[in-house]
Structure 1
Amino acid sequence: MSERVESEIGLIPKEWVLCSVGELIATNILEKPLDGNHGEKHPKGTDFKNEGVPFIMATDINDGKIDLVNCKFIDKRLADSLDKGFSIEGDVLLTHKASLGRTAIVTEIKMPYIMLTPQVTYYRVKNTNKLNNHFLKYFFDSPVFQDTLLNHGDSGSTRAYVGITAQRDLPILLPPLPEQKAIASVLSSLDDKIDLLHRQNKTLEAMAETLFRQWFVEEADESWEEGTIADLIEFNPNRKLPKGSAAPYLEMSALSNNTFNPRDWYDREFSSGTKFINGDTLLARITPCLENGKAAFVTFLDEDQVAWGSTEFIVMRPKLGLHPFFAYVLARTDDFKDYAEGCLEGSSDYVPVIVRL
């Protein structure tokens, strides 16, 4: 086993070098990282088109991928007139505002470049003999980097923010290049397997939703007793979590609109919010998250562990011995979503806790 030495981020192999982003810029390993255009140069809502140059926001980066289909677009003539934020194939993207730490590599774009908002920074490797861009992306994903990034967030801001200047102090760990490539290869293979599992889960979800509709809607028996959803589902069941205790925390942005798996939970001291356990279904109770279909089925907790999130969630749990997944599939049905959307109230846009079908 390689000898290990102490560093600012803990023990590391002796042959590995701990640098800062600023040092990698100074030694021409990285180009100067840049984000998108601020102020008057930032494209306005009226500038967005149905096609053109992809205009990438933090919300367009999820699970290591860039959504180049559902993102906003701007005219190329406008894009060419901007000062910065031109990201090209091979760049490593890092979100640094509000949703901190999402990453992706720019691949196979149809335009010469994509445009970034001020929420996203591109990192461009200048010396590929010293740094592999795939390794850099995976290092950005590591807990040690994510924790450091979170600690660099501007506590004086209402939204977590790590500006371009502050990013120069962030640590980058440099193994020898062959090790970088080996690490990236192994993690890439694992990502492919995770991708496959996600696709399988999505297929199974679609099958469950189809069966649910067939059994309980299309083939409903006239003799069945009518009731309300409250007869079958308990809303916001009581869960105990001592104030100040560290517990998994889930943001609204972590919920998907097309699969049950949430992402990006992390430990945080409980103050106040919605509490849930494995087997609970989470439903967005605010607009536009509800209309976008944000929901989750909780499976990521340890046994008897209680997690929490904001009050923007409704927690659903089946009664009468029904399988816990029943609530999630119900929440995904068009009839349920249509009715829930009709229950949005006033300017607060909240769905009532007890939804009556």
Structure 2
Amino acid sequence: MADEDDKNVDRNASFSEFGWEFQTNAAIVLFIQRIEDASSVRVEGAHEDIEISLNDGTVVYAQAKARTGNEPGKGSTDRLDGALKTLADDIKQGNYRELIFVTNDDYPFGKSHDVSDLHGGGTLRFDELPDGVQNYIREKGAAHGIGDDAYPVMAVSVIGFYGDDRDTRHKHIRAAIQDLLSRLDLGRRGDVNDGLLRDQWGTMMQENAGTLDTDITLSKEDFVWPVIVMLCKVDTDDKDFERFDEEDVQDAVREYGSIINYHTQKFEFVTKVSTDFDRYLADNSGGRKEVRTRYIDERWGDYVDILGLGEIGDGETREIVAKLIMRKVLRREDVIKRVKDGVNLGN
């Protein structure tokens, strides 16, 4: 659990909750920064506050220490000492790739060892710190048995996280999420709400941390799934539905939503639509999006019986529902490929 500013904080529930929330949000930031090389993440791992397992079998260990008071730098030397003590134990595991001290304090080493490059957030490797700060850390580390070979993989990460206002407290975390979406070329897509994504990831992290078996981690695949779900939301305003009355389309979504969701998650149907579309795409010219729209418009009737839509509503309703299902299936296929490629999942 993330540390606090003084000895009484452990008895203060609000301070403890703040430290826990910082730890969870720090895990989100550290994980998405390394998502291409990572396989899973765990808050409250077997050895450390945050453990990020990498594809090569090594682990990123991060010790989270939160400033809860309104005076930056106060108590920071104690937090640093506590972090080094725990990281010294991580070194004994022998499987570490990175050893990180993560905090929300702009003065992680105290005001007498100020590093202005960390003000407002940022990450610096040990060898990027001023010589005086390096020596200070070495002195403290030596007291915990940390040898010279560990320092090259050490780093300090400052993540802005403070205040009662939710938007202020989360702005740096949301900025990191926006950066990830931009890297995936999803930054301009209005379907992805970075605030909602942060909330979902926070809940997932906390639920995983609540399991007693520390071998149970949050996989990268599970982590990115909420992004895919948000992106696969069907846009009923697009030109596939422009000749229909908007209210009729919305009524179809409300009334037949369970049918739509069922078939878009049914492996056999998804495979058939994807295979049929790939054949159509090979035989037709134009961009993928253009051909997809044409395919849905021309072939929706082929799936009415397969989907069991013969008895619902009228002909127009059947067409709307069939098109919604087809569009969601094909859009999900494109999105999954883009996201999986972007985070190096399954490659």
What TM-score, normalized by structure 1, do the two folds share? 0.24
More strand by share: 1
Return the structure number with greater relative CO, CA threshold 8 A, min gap 6.
2
- Choose 1 or 2 for highest CA Rg: 2
What TM-score, normalized by structure 2, do the two folds share? 0.25
More helix by share: 2
